[in-house]
Chain A
Amino acid sequence: MDMEQGRQLAQSFDEMGGPGGDCRPQYRVIRSWLDGAESELLRLKREEAEQLFRQIGITFAVYTEGGDPERLIPFDLIPRILDGQEWDYLERGLVQRVQALNAFVADVYHEREIVKAGKVPEALVLHNESFEAEMQGFTVPQEVYTHIAGIDIVRTGPKEFFVLEDNCRTPSGVSYMLEDREVTMRLFPELFGQHSVRPVSHYPDELLETLRSVAPERCSGEPTIVLLTPGQFNSAYYEHSFLADEMGVELVEGSDLIVEDAVVYMRTTEGLRRVDVIYRRIDDAFLDPLTFNPDSMLGVAGLMQAYRTGNVTLANAPGAGICDDKAIYTFVPEMVRFYLGEEPMLNNVPTYNCAKEEERHYVLDNLSELVIKLVHGSGGYGMLVGPRASEAELGEFATRIKAKPEAYIAQPTLALSTCPTFVDTGIAPRHVDLRPFVLVGDRVRVVPGGLTRVALREGSLVVNSSQGGGTKDTWVIDLPEEPSS
């Protein structure tokens, strides 16, 4: 560990309580269990976990890697724990934020009041890569655009939570949240006996309820819901099949669907069957080759007509991905005020917009202390962590930013909180983030917790699975009332 990393870790807030520090109450049981557990036992448990995952086929194809296309996402045995009160606050903040984001998307495709009010620049909306003109003027069922949102949250202190990113396009990872819980319960049933851990396994039911509630108005009776996947070579295919299975809906590919006279049908062994709601896990550009990318082989020709005619609901709505834009992100607190008339409960990470000259100068002068991200990037690709970067990398990014400033934003390098993690050298603190999933339908639904991602490399701040990150089960526990003395 170099000096820089050492300082980083020393500054980080440990969610259990550092080596010398007091153990925080929600970790007491885990702490004493860890103190008593032999490394050998943990190693065995880890092997067992790996086997469980392999059998059920959890795999995650990584885009740029050659080699094993079905590498496992590493799973860390030690759960990450939030106490009920912490979570309740977070949850209220999440609901607030996602309601504002949904209102924003609705506004973006109608009157754009927020632009007219001068709160968000017109170019950022109308010239955004993710702005879909084809959505203009279309009011969707229940006025829900961001049916499934994944909000990435980081923590820097006991009460300091920040939103790092909003994911309203097709957020993934929820299957890991569910499987991590399943496996943890199989490995350590005794730990669950000693805590009251809030359940997450009803997520698929909540998702199904959400999708049901946004069925087209003209659909009478039980809507037929399907999950549209790009196919088994997609990196998140496992999750698609897992969710379809858990919800009891068909997992379809574009070629299974057909549009006839503005109605979507699926091809079944008994002939065509009408489809009412599509939970789509393919990108906007590939949805309908007659409307978007004409070369798409993944989508369904005529789908947009069926959609705009009101014969089928798409979740999430095309064009909702504008929320994922990292320049739009900086305006989310403003959206909360504008649409809800409330003060935002969750803070953004301070963000410098390289498109603005003054901020760009600051960024270029302080590159080595900042994290640089692509405005349209995701999955940790095209990202620079200043304090970890070499001189050459810094120079390269400076050139890139100067060439195309509007493509980049910068944020201070946050001292992400750490959680005890089982690594080769034993139990050690590693940086984590949290992606809770928020469902918007007739009402907003959130399951407690979310997916905790952990940077397994010592000192690393990048938690993305594509960059060597792992996952942890996330517990929200309700502590027994402390006897008042």
Chain B
Amino acid sequence: MLSRTANNLFWMARYMERAEFVARLLEVALQMSGMKSREGRTEWNSALIASGCEAGYFAKYDEVTARDVVDYLARDPDNPSSIYSCLSTARQNGRSVRTALTVDTWEAINGTWLDIQVAGRQRFAIENLDNMLSWVKRRALQFNGAYNNTMLRGDAFYFCRLGTYLERADNTARILDVKYHVLLPEYEQVGGLLDYYHWRAILRSVSALRAYHRFYRDRISPWNVAELLILQPQLPRSLRGCYDQVTGNLDLLAGQYGGQTGECHRLAGEYHARLRYGRIQDVFDSGLHEFLTETIDRSIVLGKEIQRFYLM
């Protein structure tokens, strides 16, 4: 396969995943809007930080308002991480590898883009935001379903999966990190209703609320939330779940290419082992924030190594 093709597939999947992530962030913010965290940060502000859009936003706006954040994260074509931009970039990547995609995958991605072209012409009304966000999530599901169900099990598919899961791991780490304060054990004692809502919101943002109850059958505690999202292999958006897929797909690629491996395989394996054999106690002992920052940094390095080994 052409290196450029692999590169496009990888980024197509990453950007679709990112579009969904931004939609999830906005959904949480919308539900929680009005509430402030202990540092006085609003939910809209957290969404900006978690999506890595803080700097770009403040270059354009002076203060955080729901209306502006929604526009900046959902529609603004100048923001490369807005839902609109993510869907456009994903489609552009898809378009240039049209021949490597199945018809269903292409139609999922092209149809989404055609719709957002119309919807993105004007600002979204906050009242309609909920509809719009569930539309994005549905489209992302359609895309994931299409490629997972129709693509041949070969390198093209593995590169898509690699993109999806590396991005997802990154997103989960980011959403945890922006809220890590409320997950620290010292909050548990003082945790009031507000924190309870925060924990719920985090779980909901990664579709894990029901999973939580299934695993813990208990009231929500930050310790368990962290354990679930970091180490639980059965949860598809946990770091462990994502890295199972990242290493798995890297191994499948190496298998298809006659066993050749590189630094990216070693890095992914090393980190995967840490998630696989690590305990939540150790994570908290060494500092949750430090752990999450390191995860984000590592996924950047891993992305670069994948790039170097396969994509250029």
Show the binding face of A for B, using Cβ within 8 Å: 54-57, 231-232, 241, 244-245, 250-253, 255-256, 266-270
Q: Least Cβ distance of B263 to chain A in Å?
A: 15
Contact of B2 among A55, A56, A268 (CB under 8 A): A268
Interchain CB contact under 8 A, A268 and B1: yes
For A272, give the chain B residue with the smallest CB separation. Answer: B3
Contact of B98 among A54, A245, A256, A269 (CB under 8 A): A245
For A243, give the chain B residue with the smallest CB separation. Answer: B99
Interchain CB contact under 8 A, B106 and A251: no
Interchain CB contact under 8 A, B99 and A269: no
B271 within 8 A of A: no
Q: Least Cβ distance of A402 to chain B in Å?
A: 46
- Cα distance A241–B99 in the bound complex, in angstroms: 6
Please give, as numbers and ranges, the residues of chain A lying within 8 Å of B99 by CB-CB distance: 241, 244-245, 251
Interchain CB contact under 8 A, B2 and A266: yes
Please give, as numbers and ranges, the residues of chain A lying within 8 Å of B95 by CB-CB distance: 57, 232
Interchain CB contact under 8 A, B4 and A253: yes
Please give, as numbers and ranges, the residues of chain A lying within 8 Å of B103 by CB-CB distance: 56
For A255, give the chain B residue with the smallest CB separation. Answer: B4
Q: Least Cβ distance of A233 to chain B in Å?
A: 10
Interface segment, B18-26, B52-60, B107-115, B210-218? B107-115
Q: Which residues in chain B, 256-285, are within 8 Å of chain A measured between CB atoms?
A: 257-258, 260
Contact of B110 among A57, A232, A255, A266 (CB under 8 A): A57
Interchain CB contact under 8 A, B2 and A252: yes
Please give, as numbers and ranges, the residues of chain A lying within 8 Å of B114 by CB-CB distance: 54
Contact of B92 among A232, A250, A252 (CB under 8 A): A232
Interchain CB contact under 8 A, B4 and A267: yes
Q: Least Cβ distance of B250 to chain A in Å?
A: 12
- Cα distance A153–B129 in the bound complex, in angstroms: 55
B194 within 8 A of A: no
- Cα distance A469–B155 in the bound complex, in angstroms: 41
Please give, as numbers and ranges, the residues of chain A lying within 8 Å of B155 by CB-CB distance: 269
Please give, as numbers and ranges, the residues of chain A lying within 8 Å of B260 by CB-CB distance: 270
- Cα distance A268–B253 in the bound complex, in angstroms: 13
Q: A55-B110, A245-B99, A270-B257 are in contact. Are A256 and B3 (CB under 8 A)?
A: yes
The 6 closest A-B pairs by CB, nearest first: A245-B99, A241-B98, A267-B3, A232-B96, A269-B310, A269-B6
- Cα distance A270–B154 in the bound complex, in angstroms: 13
Q: Least Cβ distance of A241 to chain B in Å?
A: 4
Please give, as numbers and ranges, the residues of chain A lying within 8 Å of B253 by CB-CB distance: 269
| Interface residues of B, dominant DSSP | helix
Q: A269-B6, A269-B310, A270-B257 are in contact. Are A57 and B98 (CB under 8 A)?
A: yes
Given contacts A269-B3, A269-B311, A270-B260, 5 further A-B contacts (CB under 8 A): A55-B107, A252-B4, A255-B4, A267-B2, A269-B1
B312 within 8 A of A: yes
For B99, give the chain A residue with the smallest CB separation. Answer: A245
Interchain CB contact under 8 A, B106 and A57: yes
- Cα distance A127–B95 in the bound complex, in angstroms: 40
Please give, as numbers and ranges, the residues of chain B lying within 8 Å of A268 by CB-CB distance: 1-3
Please give, as numbers and ranges, the residues of chain A lying within 8 Å of B3 by CB-CB distance: 256, 267-269
- Cα distance A231–B257 in the bound complex, in angstroms: 27
Q: A232-B92, A241-B99, A267-B312 are in contact. Are A256 and B2 (CB under 8 A)?
A: yes
Please give, as numbers and ranges, the residues of chain B lying within 8 Å of A255 by CB-CB distance: 4
- Cα distance A266–B4 in the bound complex, in angstroms: 10
Q: Least Cβ distance of B205 to chain A in Å?
A: 33
Q: Least Cβ distance of A240 to chain B in Å?
A: 9
Please give, as numbers and ranges, the residues of chain A lying within 8 Å of B107 by CB-CB distance: 55
Write the B299-312 contact mask toward A (1 if CB under 8 angstroms, else 0).
00000000000111
Please give, as numbers and ranges, the residues of chain B lying within 8 Å of A231 by CB-CB distance: 96
For A270, give the chain B residue with the smallest CB separation. Answer: B257
Q: Least Cβ distance of A251 to chain B in Å?
A: 6
Q: Least Cβ distance of A174 to chain B in Å?
A: 16
> In this complex, which of A251, A252, A253 has the most chain B Cβ atoms within 10 angstroms of its Cβ?
A251
For A59, give the chain B residue with the smallest CB separation. Answer: B95
Q: Least Cβ distance of B177 to chain A in Å?
A: 32
Please give, as numbers and ranges, the residues of chain A lying within 8 Å of B159 by CB-CB distance: 269
Please give, as numbers and ranges, the residues of chain B lying within 8 Å of A256 by CB-CB distance: 2-4
Write the B114-153 contact mask toward A (1 if CB under 8 angstroms, else 0).
1000000000000000000000000000000000000000
Please give, as numbers and ranges, the residues of chain A lying within 8 Å of B6 by CB-CB distance: 269
- Cα distance A57–B312 in the bound complex, in angstroms: 28
> In this complex, which of B4, B5, B159, B312 has the most chain A Cβ atoms within 10 angstroms of its Cβ?
B4
Please give, as numbers and ranges, the residues of chain B lying within 8 Å of A250 by CB-CB distance: 2, 5
Write the B229-259 contact mask toward A (1 if CB under 8 angstroms, else 0).
0000000000000000000000001000110
Please give, as numbers and ranges, the residues of chain B lying within 8 Å of A232 by CB-CB distance: 92, 95-96
Q: Least Cβ distance of A175 to chain B in Å?
A: 12
> In this complex, which of B99, B310, B311 has the most chain A Cβ atoms within 10 angstroms of its Cβ?
B99
Please give, as numbers and ranges, the residues of chain A lying within 8 Å of B257 by CB-CB distance: 269-270
- Cα distance A268–B258 in the bound complex, in angstroms: 14
- Cα distance A473–B150 in the bound complex, in angstroms: 30
